[in-house]
Amino acid sequence: MGSRRKQKTEKSMIQNLYWKQVFQSPKTKIGLMVVIIFALAAIFAPVLAPHDPLLVNVSIKLKNPSAAYPLGTDQLGRCILSRLLWGSRYSLSYSFAVLLITVCVGVPIGLFAGYVGGKIDSIIMRIIDVFMAMPVFIVALAIAGTVGASGAHLILSLSVVSWAEYARLARALTLQEKNKNYMTALKAGGCGHARIIFRHVLRNILPSVIALATMEIGSIILSIAGFSFIGLGVQAPTPEWGIMLSDSKSYIQTYPRLMFYPGILIMIIVLAFNYLGEGIQNGTAQK
């Protein structure tokens, strides 16, 4: 009992030290705070939005900010603030959907390849190389041309070319873990392969996977906004930030605020995730 308590205490101390290292940078704290604010805005968008983001009223189009419309209205008389709030829900949910699919597909494949090794590892690595060589734009264009442009198809196209990066990382980390002494002790103690992979190896490589995922989420948000902007992703009238940029590009000289609002939000959330990911990465490197 005493040794178990000692192990739990040491584990708790290591975890506390890890999180202190992660959040020792002010930029990381700011990034986390901004991410939380955007997440809350996305969750409570139906409550916070003062108007229906899809409600068209051309009689009040391009209205300046007022008490009823804090950020004014767009070219169709829709409330910009409401569309921005709902846009955070769409942009973040699509981005996290891509991230969830890529991590859930890539990490198990990489774990399996690195743990088994041999010919199976070589075959899986050749497949990973093929997917990593695929250009995102061409894949998205092919899917949009075949089945039509939509948010779901954009998620599919981004996931197809993104999972391989996580598989390669998981494989490399698993190969490192295989050479450690505790692996030999676990196998000598009769621990099953599945238990070793998911109970021990996965737990040890997870911080590095989370660090990569946090760094990549910003790129995913940019990709979703970019593809929506050129018509290969989310389609109008969905209140998504890329769509808002696309709809207002004709008014960039006369009403630049229409593009400024979604553009600045994209920049802020991408920087916030980059700061947060940088902190997690630094904490993982020092662990």
CATH of the domain at 91: 1.10.3720.10
**Is residue 59 in a domain?**
no
Any bridge partners for residue 281, and if so which? none
**Is residue 187 in a domain?**
yes
Q: Which long-range contacts (CB under 8 A, 24 or more apart) does 65-72 make?
A: 71/257, 71/261, 72/257
**Is residue 20 in a domain?**
no
Q: How far apart are CA 55 and CA 148, in angstroms?
A: 26
What type of residue sits at position 135? P
**Is residue 166 in a domain?**
yes
Q: How far apart are CA 64 and CA 263, in angstroms?
A: 18
Render pLDDT for 197-244 as a digit per residue (tens, 0 to 9): 777 788 888 888 888 888 888 889 988 888 888 888 888 888 889 999
Model confidence at 85, pLDDT cuts 50, 70, 90, reads very high
Cα–Cα separations (whole angstroms), residue 10 to 4, 80, 104, 200, 202: 10, 52, 30, 17, 20
pTM of the model: 0.83
Domain that holds residue 127: 32-40+86-286
**Is residue 257 in a domain?**
yes
pLDDT at 198: 75
**Is residue 103 in a domain?**
yes
Render pLDDT for 98-142 as a digit per residue (tens, 0 to 9): 999 999 999 999 988 888 888 888 898 999 888 888 887 787 778
